[in-house]
Homo-oligomer: A and B are copies of this chain.
Amino acid sequence: MSEKDQEVKDQELEEEVAELKDLEEQESVTDELTELTTKIDELDDQLLRARAEIANITNRNRNERELLQRYRSQDLAKKLLPAIDNLERAMATEVTDDQGMNLKKGVEMTLASLQQALKEEGIEEIPAAGETFDPNFHQGVQTVEASDDVPANTIVQVLQKGYKLHDRVLRPSMVVVAQ
Contacts and interface: CB of A to CB of B under 8 A. Distances in A.
Interface of A: 29, 32-33, 36-37, 39-40, 43-44, 46-47, 50-51, 53-54, 57-58, 61, 64-65, 68-69, 72-73, 75-77, 79-80, 82-83, 86-87, 89-90, 93-97, 99-100, 102-104, 106-107, 109-110, 113-114, 116-118, 120-121
A96 B99 contact: yes
B99 A113 contact: no
Contact of A46 (B47, B68, B79): B47
Contact of A93 (B79, B82, B102, B117): B102
A75 B68 CA distance: 13
Copies of this chain held together in the complex: 2
A27 to B, nearest CB: 12
Contacts of A93: 99, 102-103, 106
Contact of A80 (B51, B58, B65, B114): B114
A68 B73 CA distance: 11
A38 to B, nearest CB: 10
Contact of A76 (B29, B77, B107, B113): B77
Contacts of A95: 99-100, 103
